[in-house]
Structure formats: C-alpha cells, structure tokens
Amino acid sequence: MAKNSTSSTTVPDTAWLGRGRHLGSEPERDVRRNLIALKAARVIDDFLDLDPVEAAKSTDLYPREASADPGPSARRLFEARWRVADDVTVRAQLTTFDPESRRAERDGVTWVLAAEAERAWDAGWLSPATVFWPDSEQVPWDHEMVPGVRLRTANHLPRDDDELRRLLRDCPRQSWAIHVLVHEAMTPDTLGRQPITAFLPPSLRHRVVEHRATPDQALTADFAMKRALGVGIPRGGAVVLPTVPETPGYDAQRFTVRNVFLDGTEPTELLARITEFASLPLPMPPDAEQALTRLREGWHLLTSDEELVHARAMVTRYAKSLEAMTASCDLYREAAESALAALAEATGGDGAPRTAPPAAAKQDSSPLKSFTKTLGLFRGPGK
C-alpha cells in the first residue's frame, strides 16, 4: 500500500475518502450483498466482513496505533481489494457506526470509507462508494452528514432564509464532499433537472454534492454565501464552494462559471472547474485522518504473497524473541550460580556463618602493645 510522506493537513493524492449516513434498516446487509455480487462478477479480488472488536484485537506484525481502533460505536468493518489500470491495487475499508445520539430513525447509521491506491488516484477508476454500496436509488446510503442533503441528486436550497444560511454554513464544515451551487436561470425541464454530477468521472461522482437555487433565490443565495463563505453566485451560473479551512490555491473567480445551461447537455466548463478543484491539496478533516490511519495500520485482507511474507516475518520475530529469552535465562543462571558460590564460601559449605579463628584475633596484638598495657598497671592517679 502506498504510504507517501505527505503532510497530515492535506489528503494524499493516493487516497479516496468518503462519509455519509445510511437511513435504511439493515445497512450491513446491503454492503454484504453488494460485495458478494462484485466478487462473483470478478470486479473485486476479495473482501472481508469483520467484527470491529475482534479485528482490533487481532495479532499483527507491527504494534497498532491507538487511532487504528475504530472505537466502541463501530458496528461492522468491511475490507475490499481490487485492481485498476490492470496492475494497480486498491485497498478500501468501510466502517459503520452508531450515531452519537439517535434522536430519531432519520439519524440513520454513519459510515466512513477510506481507500488508497498504489499510485496517485485517477478519477476514471471505479468508485469505492459503489464497491461497498449498491448504485441503486432504492438503497438510501447516500445521505450527507448535514440533514436534508444527498449525493447523486440535485439538492434544492431551503425556502426559509435561516435554514438556507445554516445549510451553506454547515456543509463546508461538516461534509467531506466537494459542494457546488448552481443557480437555475429559469425553471428547467425534465432533462435540466437531472443532476450534473452524473457527467462526472466515476470516482469523482460520489465526492461531489450539487445544490440548486431556484430562479427567485438568486439574491438570497448570493447574499447568504457572501456572508458565510465570502463568495457569490452569478445569475444562471455556478460556483464551487470553498472548504473550511480554505483550500490552498482556491480563487473564487477561478471556480465560478458565469453560464450553466440546464438542458441536459454536458456542462463542460463547470465539470472542468470541479475536476480542477478536486485535484488541489484539499484539507484533511480530523476524522478522515483517523480513517486513513485505520486503513494503513489495521489492514487484514492480505494476498497469498503478503500472507507468506507476513508469516516469515512473524517467524523471524518469534525467533528473535526466543533468542532474547534464552539469553536472559543464561544470564539468570550464571547470576544464580555466582550467588550460590559466594554463599558457600561465606558459610563454609554447611549453611552456618563462619567465625574468625582465635589465632587470627591474636595476630592483631603486637609486643609493643602488650608492654604498654603492662606499664599502665603501675601508673597511679596523677602519674
């Protein structure tokens, strides 16, 4: 797996990151069915369905970082591996979480997806989102963290001004997606109501959220955006919204398109601006950094060659541990033998402390000391 030495403040160019909410009753079942179908069709090489607690406890070659543990709210962890461009391997990990506070069924189940390729990501590759989730309108996996916003559709701005301002303020702060606002110069027909994200390359399609302002919302949306984000929107045009914190190299004029024709034709200029924005070094949200760490440090789905390398490394590791234990035992034995020898010398071999012989005590007295002691006997008081 590629582990480029990139700054932790930006998303690596090898990574694909996504987050959202599934509002259905059995999200894990939807993931499991999709993975089984794609493996049977040989779209992916293999996948794993893991209990997150057991996965965190599993033994690995290297000690795991604390952030590799998905945490107590994790429900299920899925891993998948596939190849793109013939020989480039992609590894991806999707984790489902219980919401922090389930106030209503609409809160759904939160999911986090992190994928990484062996080289820089190509927007034309298979979308990791549709590896785990079925690309069907019948499965409600594509809800954003901001309520009322979805991927794969054109989201009309709220009619209430306060809600509109809240939405434009919250989306760049709470979402990992790229947000685009399009103003409808006139009410579009059926073709014009189709989301423009459908024209994007597969891997970019599920990273972009499209917002629509109706013809009469031009002034309201423009005023709210200038206050919340410092950018405006032209009538009948579109703008790629800045991130929070702002992406280095972002220029509001550069990512504003004056005219977007919503007649079902491909909006070439807007698509080019979205693609250009996606290629910038986007800021790394804190939760996204943890997800990428879990993918790198907590990977379980190994190939046969990787398992062999892993097994050999484990044998080497255990051999070194055994060698260190044997050396410690030898040192302990030598220390014990030295202690016993010293004890035997001190006790004479019978376990009792040895006393000094009388001759040794007599050797301490000299003839001069004896003579001085005798003279002292003849001294009287005051002599």
The answer to whether residues 245 and 230 touch, using CB atoms and an 8 Å cutoff, is no
**CA pair distance 16, 111, nearest whole angstrom:** 14
The answer to whether residues 16 and 116 touch, using CB atoms and an 8 Å cutoff, is yes
**CA pair distance 280, 255, nearest whole angstrom:** 12
Q: Which helix (H) or strand (E) holds 1?
A: none
State the pLDDT at residue 248: 87
State the pLDDT at residue 340: 83
State the pLDDT at residue 356: 52
Cα 80 to Cα 18, 167, 173: the distances in Å are 15, 34, 29
State the pLDDT at residue 220: 92
* pLDDT averages per 10-residue partition of the chain, 383 residues: 55 96 95 98 96 72 56 93 94 92 68 97 97 95 95 95 92 94 95 96 97 95 91 96 90 96 96 96 91 94 68 68 79 84 75 54 53 54 48
Please give the biggest Cα pair distance in the chain.
140
pTM recorded for the entire structure: 0.78
State the pLDDT at residue 99: 80
At 76 the three-state DSSP class reads strand
State the pLDDT at residue 311: 60
State the pLDDT at residue 312: 65
State the pLDDT at residue 91: 98
**CA pair distance 324, 306, nearest whole angstrom:** 27
Tokens standing for residue 122: 């190509």
State the pLDDT at residue 346: 79
State the pLDDT at residue 274: 98
Residues 6+ away with beta carbon under 8 Å from 207 = 16, 18, 176, 177, 178, 278
What pairing do the DSSP bridges indicate for beta strands 178-183 and 208-213?
parallel
**CA pair distance 290, 296, nearest whole angstrom:** 10
- What is the Cβ-side half-sphere exposure of residue 60, based on CA atoms within 13 angstroms? 17
State the pLDDT at residue 62: 45
DSSP string, 209-257: EEEEE-GGGHHHHHHHHHHHTS----TT-EEEPPPSSPPTT--TTTTEE
**CA pair distance 22, 111, nearest whole angstrom:** 7
State the pLDDT at residue 373: 59
